[in-house]
Amino acid sequence: MAGVTACLMAISTPAYSVAAHGSTADLETDARIYLQSRVDRLTGGSRGVALDAVPATAQFQDALRADSAAIDVRREKLRSANGGHSRGQVTVSDTKISTSGKTATVQLTEHTTLFYARTTPGSPDAEEYQLRHTLTYNLVGSQWVLSHDAPDIHVGDLAPDAYPSKPEAVSEAAPSSKKISSTSRPRTTSQGAVPDKSSPTYRAPGNSTLAYDYGAMTRYALQYWDNYNPNYRTYGGEGGDCTNFISQIVKAGGWAETGSWPGENRTLPDQWYYGYEGTWTTTYTWAAAENWYWFASPFNSGRTEALDYIWEMGVSDVLQIDFDRNDNISHSMFVTGRDGAGQTADELYMTYHSTNTRNKRLSSIIAATPDAWFYAHRT
């Protein structure tokens, strides 16, 4: 992030494969090695590779040097927050290679596992993410060299730490119209002990009789974080699929839809339903983060309770983020793990779409987005 001096580590350059003249046979391997080099830079792995050691055009080498410095900053932030990662492992799949003259395009899906340097018994030992890439190679002499990497990351997505971006400009124009949850750790909590949602006596916020299946919510999140449920459409591009995923999760646990198309106005904050005919038959509250907040909150359905502190959350709660503090929520996440049995968590593990991620530590997210506004929901 801006304002932090990069801690450049010693590097060594591994031997890279080079595709033969006129052949693309090795490009998938070259692409995987490039992606692994980013992860190794983040984790400070044994190779400690400089990204610009990848065979690349001069212009892209400049970009990779800048990326190396940004990844170094992120690595040190994570180490300060929670110990960071000990190592990472990259695999690729769904590879498609096409050529046109001296240009080759490689489309593939990266699946990376980042192992935590410090772990707690019974808690996740790694985070995972899935990311689609379009890589461009140019044929220079007899060698294919990388000229561009276009990861499928959009405005509103929470990018993996191996792809740190410049922080968004923070707006100071107006205070939030919503209740911000503090990222500090309180000495005492104002909202009591974290409830046992598996207890038959637990009742959801705003409802004295209905008990949701929170285990089903968590199982759904872990099943479909990278393998989308074909019964629902996805929302790509700006804004991403994060809140569509949250709506699917809570519906799997028993949230009843409110209203239906075409009977009710889908723009209203007290309506929440999915229309299988298309996006025009689905409420704004289903897939838009800001709108979901207003539906779920006590202002409308009251299905969630706003928490004073993010560390008061438990498994199956929801956290939303406004990255640039413009009073329009950017991203939604679901809690799939928790360290600590006390009133406040020692650590929370977040699962979400855009970018598809499983069991990422909340302390890592805060370290990467320290200026953001957070909104914690107890479901």
Q: What is the pTM of this model?
A: 0.91
Do 292 and 368 belong together in one domain? yes
162 assigned to some structural domain: no
Do 114 and 251 belong together in one domain? no
Answer yes or no: is pLDDT of 250 > 60: yes
Point out which residues pair with 245 in neighbouring strands. Answer: none
Pairing of strands 305-306, 373-378: antiparallel
Do 80 and 223 belong together in one domain? no
Confidence of residue 21 (pLDDT cuts 50, 70, 90): very low
Three-state helix/strand/coil letters over 244-294: HHHHHHHHHCCCCCECCCCCCCCCCCCCECCCCCCHHHCCHHHHCHHHHHH
Give the separation between CA 242 and CA 236, rounded to whole angstroms: 9
Do 142 and 51 belong together in one domain? yes
Give the separation between CA 366 and CA 191, rounded to whole angstroms: 22
Do 143 and 222 belong together in one domain? no
Angle between the N-to-C axes of helices 242-252 and 214-224, in degrees from 0 to 180, rounded to the nearest 10: 140
Percentage above 70 pLDDT, the chain: 88
40: Cα separation from own chain's centroid: 19
pLDDT at 72: 93
206 assigned to some structural domain: no
Select the more confidently predicted residue: 203 or 32.
32
Do 126 and 225 belong together in one domain? no
Confidence of residue 196 (pLDDT cuts 50, 70, 90): confident
Structure tokens at 153: 């990351």
Q: Which amino acid is at 220?
A: Y
Give the separation between CA 361 and CA 374, rounded to whole angstroms: 15
Instruction: For the chain, give the mean pLDDT.
Output: 89
Give the separation between CA 378 and CA 338, rounded to whole angstroms: 14
Q: Lowest-pLDDT range, 30-44, 49-63, 75-89, 290-304?
A: 49-63
Helix or strand holding residue 73 (H, E): helix 58-82
pLDDT at 189: 62
What's the structural domain count of the chain? 2
246 assigned to some structural domain: yes
Q: What is the mean pLDDT of residues 301-310?
A: 95
Confidence of residue 47 (pLDDT cuts 50, 70, 90): low
4 assigned to some structural domain: no
107 assigned to some structural domain: yes
Do 255 and 112 belong together in one domain? no
258 assigned to some structural domain: yes
163 assigned to some structural domain: no
* 3-class DSSP assignment, residue 192: coil
Q: Lowest-pLDDT range, 112-126, 182-196, 237-251, 303-317?
A: 182-196
Indicate which CATH number applies to the domain containing 87: 3.10.450
Confidence of residue 210 (pLDDT cuts 50, 70, 90): low
Answer yes or no: is pLDDT of 10 > 60: no
Do 236 and 312 belong together in one domain? yes
Do 338 and 229 belong together in one domain? yes
Do 232 and 338 belong together in one domain? yes
Last residue of a domain, one of 128, 151, 174: 151
Do 135 and 252 belong together in one domain? no
88 assigned to some structural domain: yes
pLDDT at 341: 85
Do 237 and 120 belong together in one domain? no
pLDDT at 11: 31
Confidence of residue 15 (pLDDT cuts 50, 70, 90): very low
Q: What residues have CB less than 8 Å from 357, skipping those under 6 apart? A: 127, 128, 129, 130, 158, 160, 225, 350, 351
What is the span of the domain harbouring residue 299?
214-378
Give the separation between CA 162 and CA 49, rounded to whole angstroms: 13
Structure tokens at 263: 């009977």
Q: What is the mean pLDDT of residues 86-98?
A: 96
296-302: Cβ within 8 A, 24+ apart: 296/377, 297/178, 297/377, 298/205, 298/206, 299/269, 300/269, 300/270, 301/206, 301/258, 301/270, 301/272, 302/205, 302/206, 302/207
CB 325 within 8 A of CB 373: yes
Scan for tokens 């309770």, then name that residue: 305
Looking at residue 51, the DSSP 8-state letter turns out to be G
Select the more confidently predicted residue: 103 or 17.
103
Confidence of residue 32 (pLDDT cuts 50, 70, 90): very high
| Torsion of Cα atoms, 361 then 364 then 368 then 370, to 10° | 100
Answer yes or no: is pLDDT of 44 > 70: yes
Answer yes or no: is pLDDT of 253 > 60: yes
Residues 176-186 as b/e (b if ≥16 CB within 10 A, e otherwise) read eebebbebeee
Interval 327-356: pLDDT, tens: 999 999 999 999 998 889 999 999 999 999
Last residue of a domain, one of 151, 173, 198: 151
Answer yes or no: is pLDDT of 108 > 50: yes
Last residue of a domain, one of 134, 151, 168: 151
Q: Lowest-pLDDT range, 59-68, 120-129, 182-191, 224-233?
A: 182-191
pLDDT at 205: 79
